[in-house]
Amino acid sequence: MNIRNPHTEFYEPAFIDEEDGIDGVFVEGEVPEGVGHAAIVKKPNQIKSAMENNGEFSEKNNDISFRFTEEEQSIIDEAKKIYHWLKATLFNPETGAVADNIARNGRKNWRWLFTYNQGTFLGAAHELYLITGDKSYLEDAQKAADFVMNRMSNNNGVLGDATNGDGGLFHGIFFRYFVKLINEEKLDLTTRQKYHAYLTHLANVMAEHGINTKTKLYAGTWWKAPDQNAPVALTAHVTGCMLMEAMCVLKPIQEK
C-alpha cells in the first residue's frame, strides 16, 4: 500500500488524529487484526494499491487502484517541465514576484509585474500540487499570492485601478486562481484566514464604492463608481464579475 505524505508510528492507531500535516499513518505493532501493520488514512484518495498503480494520487478519484494512463502521465511530465522552466526563469523565490517576459537577449522584464502573471503562476503551482502532492508547489503558490497582497495592494489596501484594454482583465484572472488556493484545506489555518479576509475586503470595497448602484456597472476604479451615463470598458466590468463569482466560490473556513 502507498499513502500520500505518510507517517509511521509504533503505537495504537487511535492517536493518529493528533498528527498534523500528514495524510495517513503506517502503524507498526498492535493493530486490530493482531501483530503486524496497518495503513490508516484520513481520506480515501490518499491511499493506493502498489500492485495496481505507481503510487499516483488524485484529489478527484477515490479508487484505490487509480493510476494515470501513459498519455496522462506524459502530459503531467510536460506540465512539470514547463513549470520548472518558468520558475527558474521568471519567478523570484525570495519575493514571489513573476516577471512579465524575457527578451531574446536574456533580459528579464521585472518592471512589468501584473496580477494575471501572479495568478496563472500560482494556479499552475496549485494544480501541480493537487496532482503530485509535492508541497513545494503549494509553497510557490503562497509566495506568488503573498506578493500580490504585500507588494501590489498599495491603493489604500486594494489593487491598482484597471479601467480598460486587456489590463482590465488582469485582476480577474488573478481572482480565478486565487480563490481556489484559498479553498485549499492543506494550507495552514492562519494563511487561509489571511487570504480569505483579503479577498473579502476587495469585494466589499468594490461593492460599496466601485459599483454604480443604479446601472450596476463597475469601471475598474475601486473607490469611485462610474457616473450613470459614463462609458464602462467591458474588460473592467468583467473583472468585477469575476470577483463576485470568486466570492460565490469562496468557502467558509471552519476553525479546527
So where are the chain's domains? 2-48, 70-249
For residue 234, CA distances in Å to 2, 73, 116, 161, 239 come to 50, 39, 17, 14, 9
For domain 70-249, give its CATH number from 1.10.3720.10, 1.50.10.20, 1.10.150.20, 2.40.50.100: 1.50.10.20
pLDDT at 32 over 60: no
DSSP 8-state code for residue 53 = S
Burial of 205 (0-12, 13-18, 19+ CB in 10 A): middle
Percent of residues, the chain, with pLDDT higher than 90? 70
Phi, psi torsion values for 239, nearest 5 degrees: -60, -40
Other Cβ atoms closer than 10 A to 133: 19
Phi, psi torsion values for 37, nearest 5 degrees: -150, 160
Question: Residue 4 has what pLDDT?
Answer: 58
Question: Residue 69 has what pLDDT?
Answer: 77
Per-residue pLDDT tens digits for 37-59: 556 666 655 655 544 455 566 66
